[in-house]
Structures are given as C-alpha cells and as structure tokens.
Structure 1
Amino acid sequence: MATFFGEVLSVYSRAVEEDEYEDMTNENEEDEQIRREIEEKRSVEVCWLLGSQDGPLQCSELIIGAGPNASGFLRAYLLSTPGCTAVAWLSFWNERSRGSERPTATPGPGEPSCVLYRLESCPTVLICQCQGFVAEDQLFQFTQKVFSCVQTRDLNVTVLSDCSSADYKTSDYLSGSSTPFLRCLKTSAYTHTVTCPPLEQPNICSGLAAAVLSHCQVHQISAVLYQCYSDVLHPDSSSMQMFAATLSSVLKLEQSLSADVLQRVTRVSEIQSNLYT
C-alpha cells in the first residue's frame, strides 16, 4: 500500500494462509539441512597413520604428484624403493573420487585418493601422491589440509602434473614426435633453476596443480610446477620419464632399479583400460 506522501509500505497480506507460510519455512530449513549434509560429505579429512601427531611434519622438500603420469612416476621411481612409509592420507568424496568417504585408522576398501609418504633415505623429503579427482569446490580445502600437515618455513614445493597435448595452445604445428614435453610455472619466491621452458601464454594450468601453486604464491612459498603434455590417455613410460630430470636436484633416482617397476605400472594401466573391464 501507499501513504498520502507516496511512501510504499510492506503490509502482510491476510490472503496468505498461515499454513502456507509455515510450509515455506519448513522447506527453507530442509534446504539448509541438505546443504549442510552435502558440505559435510564433501569435506576433506586427514588421518595420521603413525598415531597422534603433535604438529606439522618437518620437511624441506614437498613433492606433489597429481594425474596419472605424475602419480605413476612417483610410484615407480620413489614409492617402490625400500624404506618408504605412509605417514598420513587424505580422505574426500565426490562424484569422481576413489576410496572411502571418511578416514579411519587404516584405509578402507579401495585405494586411498591421496597419501603422504616419507622416505627413510631422505627424511626431509615428503611425497604427496594424489590419484583421485579433486572437485572444484574441494580444491581450496584440499590445499589447506595438505599444507597444514607440513612445516612451511623454508619449504620448497615441486608439483608434478600432466595434461593432454590437445589443450596446449601454440602457433606452430605440434607434431607427434614432439610429445611428450614439459612446461613449468613458478612462484616469485622460487629461485632455483628450472629444467624446462616456462609455460607460454595463453596456456594456463588448472585443477589441483593451479590451486597448490596459487596457495604457494599467496603465502610466499617457494614452488614450481612441472606440467607434462602428452598425447596418450593412460600412463606411459615416455611421459613418466619426463619427470625424472625435475627431481634430479632433490633426489637421486636409480634408473635400473625402477625400470621393472615402471613396466608394471604401465601394464596395470593397460589392463584397467580394457573395454570389457
């Protein structure tokens, strides 16, 4: 209604039944409850496998592998060596994730989506192998959880990721003989030498690798991202070996020791990609 001075006043209409108003209120409460349950279900949790943890782990190097080739490389070259111990694992659920929904004392049925490892030969190096898909609404929380597990002072982060060569934008013709290849991005705090050319514009990185690099840039953490562009959908030995040079300054990789393991990793991926499995 309007007053004599033209002011519009909001007046409760008696035509609306009180029952209808209560139904609308109940629906809003149900929507909020469903939203809270979804947020709780999609939350990221950390489970320590070596008992209670008083504080963040002390380490100088954090290596994160995201993607089939990156995680396969870590499994073949680092995680297959003796003295590799899992210290924690991150549990999360989404429509494309693998593993159980909530962390327990030990990983449940299926393979954990993300595991943190420590090498006895290099106790200052922590390895984060992420095999599961992290949804967009979980990237910020996932990154916060990972870096809450480690001491960030004087920390150097190396992110290994892989991407399809079809997503690489260039004015030159990209032949099959030129793949796989590496490109890198680094934060302003990273002062070490990189082993490949920087990622050219207008190419961008996305997903977990971009979330980690953005977190490191905001918090002034030394970090570099190495992205492998490959034309193969599944892990292959050529793409995995591209990452070997990126860790040469951090770890000594024994090529002869990991050759057989590398073949087993690629063989498992070929079996899983069968049309009838």
Structure 2
Amino acid sequence: MATFFGEIISAYSRAVEEDDYDNTEEEDEDVQIRREIEAKRDVHVRWGPEVSKALESSGNLNTTNLIIAFGPNAAGFISAHVLSAEGWTQVGWVALWNERSRGSRRPDAAPLPGEPGCVFYQRDGCPSVLICQSTAYVAEDQLFQWAEKVLGPMQKRGLSVTVLSDCPMAEYKSPDYLTGSGAPFLRALKTTMHTDALPCPLLEQPNIVTGLPAAVLSHCQVHRIPAVLFQCFTDVSHPDSVTMETYKPILSSFSTSVKTESCPSAEILQKLTRITDSQSNLYT
C-alpha cells in the first residue's frame, strides 16, 4: 500500500485472515456433521438373552450352519420350507438406518412388526443352526459393517454359510437372448473352501454379484469359510410362489440338522403372498 510520502509498504490483509478462520470453522463443522451422519448409519446387531449369555461366556457363537436369505422371495422360501417345519425362536435382529430403510431407527429398539428388517432365528434345542432373514435395504457404505458385525462373532472353524438371494432378471448377462419366459432360474457362486456338489449351474461370466451377498461371500473368502450363494434371477420384485419354488433344489444341500418341509401347505404360501396381491391393483 502507498503511504502519504509515496513509500510502498507491506500490510496484512484482515480479509485473508478472516477467510482462513471462517474456512477452519466450516471444516470443523463439516467434520462434525460427517461424524454424526456416520454414527447414524452404524449397523447395530442385537442378540437375545440366551445368545448374549453365550457370547459373554465363550466370546463367540458356536454356529456350524448359517443360512442367510436376502430378498422377499428368498426369505419367503425359508419361511415356507424351513421355519414352518419345526419350532424356531427369534434370537436377534439388525438395526440400521439409511435413506431407503423403513426399519427401526433407534439401535436399542426392536424392529417394528410388519416392517422390513433383518431377523435371526435359532432352532429350539439346536443352537448350532442360525437363520438370518433380511428384506431391508442396506446401503453401500453399510455392507462391510453388516458382514463384519453379523459374521464376526461366529466361530470360523466348522462354520458353513449358505446364502439365498433374489436378483432382477435384467441384471443377468448372457450371449443368448433370454425372454421373460426363462425366469426364474438359479445360479450358484462359491468360495474356494466350499467343495460340496451344487444343485444348479455356476454363475457364468461376465455376471457379477453385488450388495450384501457379495459382502458376505467376500468375508467368507478372506476368512477361509466354506460358503455358497444361490442367486435366483426373477422378473418379479414381490413374493411369488413360483419364484420361491425355484430355490427348492437347494434343500438337499442343507445340513441334516436342518429339518425342511418339501411341500409346504397352500395356506402358508398364500399367507406369504397375500400382502402383495392386495397391493397390486392399479387403482390402489
């Protein structure tokens, strides 16, 4: 700046200092907001009293057979063919929140009845078998958390994981054109430790698996856990008895400790599909 006598001198710019101070405040505020959002999107696994007691005493769950069903048809198949065969008890759930999830928002709260979510079941008198039914949407930034917090407490030795998953027919890639009449059909993808025979063809390249099934398989591959994914490609997005029956060949791959019902009653199937039937009207 020029003085009265024409001398040029340097001067501090208060505007620059104030801008730097404001930017620091904004950065701190952004960091705080980001931390609050991350905390809000945490995945919380809540176990019932018996499972919590087992975790406290041994540090892990002595589960040898874990069956996970992702999607309405996979979950419906498990309900019709497994959970209806004998007494099962709800022993835990996953609480999470994201933009598309309508489940419980409070980590200390149980999922609301009738809303989608993730629930764990254990067979009475057989704690080694655990079933997980998940129909809630899990965002991309929550997938790793979900896999780590669900599979983390389980013993690695002797554990076998079976995953059932629904997938839109539009995501299936094939050199041959497949019309809607070809759906639904089943494909499998397994980890290197899984050596049992498969009741359906392997998933062909260049198809890929995404979402929770991919997160679970990746976790099992890293920890050398035998795991197999049975993915059903279907052209319906709601519970459908025909799509549920597509999973039927995998019943033979379940452990002998899992009692299954090969022919569930029509009443059970109607109950699983009744809600979507009543909402399919164009004018409702």
- Pair in the same fold by TM > 0.5: yes
- Are 1:260 and 2:239 an aligned pair? no
Q: Distance in 1 between matches of 2:242 and 2:113?
A: 31
Using a 3 Å threshold, how does the CA distance of structure 1 residues 164 and 121 change in structure 2: closer, same or farther? farther
Using a 3 Å threshold, how does the CA distance of structure 1 residues 50 and 141 change in structure 2: closer, same or farther? same
Q: Which of 191, 194, 197 is 2:195 aligned to?
A: 191
Q: Letter of the aligned partner of 2:167 in structure 1?
A: C
- Which residue pairs with 1:23 in the alignment? 22
Q: Which of 64, 75, 80 is 1:60 aligned to?
A: 64
State the Cα distance separating 1:97 from its structure 2 match.
Answer: 1.0
Q: Which moved more, 1:51-60 or 1:218-227?
A: 51-60
- Which residue pairs with 1:3 in the alignment? none
Number of residue equivalences: 266
- Which residue pairs with 1:45 in the alignment? 44
- Are 1:249 and 2:253 an aligned pair? yes
- Which residue pairs with 1:135 in the alignment? 139
Q: Letter of the aligned partner of 1:255 in structure 2?
A: S
- Which residue pairs with 2:239 in the alignment? 235
- Which residue pairs with 2:119 in the alignment? 115
State the Cα distance separating 1:40 from its structure 2 match.
Answer: 0.2
Q: Letter of the aligned partner of 2:270 in structure 1?
A: Q
State the Cα distance separating 1:173 from its structure 2 match.
Answer: 2.7
- Which residue pairs with 2:91 in the alignment? 87
State the Cα distance separating 1:13 from its structure 2 match.
Answer: 8.1
Q: Distance in 2 between matches of 1:39 and 1:146?
A: 19
State the Cα distance separating 1:148 from its structure 2 match.
Answer: 2.1
Q: Distance in 1 between matches of 2:11 and 2:280?
A: 63
Q: Letter of the aligned partner of 2:277 in structure 1?
A: E
Q: Letter of the aligned partner of 1:262 in structure 2?
A: L
- Which residue pairs with 1:126 in the alignment? 130
- Are 1:156 and 2:155 an aligned pair? no
Using a 3 Å threshold, how does the CA distance of structure 1 residues 168 and 105 change in structure 2: closer, same or farther? closer
TM-score w.r.t. the length of structure 2 is 0.86
Q: Distance in 1 between matches of 2:190 and 2:263?
A: 31
TM-align CA RMSD: 2.2
Q: Distance in 1 between matches of 2:99 and 2:214?
A: 21
TM-score w.r.t. the length of structure 1 is 0.88
- Are 1:101 and 2:76 an aligned pair? no
**Identity across aligned pairs (percent)?**
56
Q: Distance in 1 between matches of 2:113 and 2:21?
A: 44
Structure 1 runs (4+) deviating above 6 angstroms are none
Q: Distance in 2 between matches of 1:28 and 1:182?
A: 50
- Which residue pairs with 1:32 in the alignment? 31
Q: Secondary structure at the match of 1:177?
A: helix
State the Cα distance separating 1:235 from its structure 2 match.
Answer: 1.7
Q: Distance in 1 between matches of 2:278 and 2:11?
A: 67
Q: Deviations over 1:32-86 (max 9, x none)?
A: 0000000000000111222633132211111111112111212222233442111
Q: Deviations over 1:219-270 (max 9, x none)?
A: 1110000000111222211111111221323234223444321221111222
Q: Letter of the aligned partner of 2:193 in structure 1?
A: A
Q: Letter of the aligned partner of 1:265 in structure 2?
A: L
Q: Letter of the aligned partner of 1:132 in structure 2?
A: A
Q: Is 2:76–2:244's contact at 8 Å kept on the other side of the alignment?
A: yes
Q: Secondary structure at the match of 2:242?
A: helix
Q: Is 2:184–2:234's contact at 8 Å kept on the other side of the alignment?
A: yes
Q: Which moved more, 1:263-272 or 1:156-165?
A: 263-272
Q: Is 1:100–1:112's contact at 8 Å kept on the other side of the alignment?
A: no
Q: Distance in 1 between matches of 2:176 and 2:140?
A: 32
Q: Which moved more, 1:221-230 or 1:249-258?
A: 249-258
Q: Is 1:213–1:224's contact at 8 Å kept on the other side of the alignment?
A: yes
Gaps of 5+ in 2: 1-9
Q: Secondary structure at the match of 2:178?
A: coil
State the Cα distance separating 1:121 from its structure 2 match.
Answer: 6.5
Q: Letter of the aligned partner of 1:127 in structure 2?
A: I
Q: Secondary structure at the match of 1:38?
A: helix
Q: Secondary structure at the match of 1:124?
A: strand
Q: Is 2:187–2:202's contact at 8 Å kept on the other side of the alignment?
A: yes
- Are 1:212 and 2:216 an aligned pair? yes
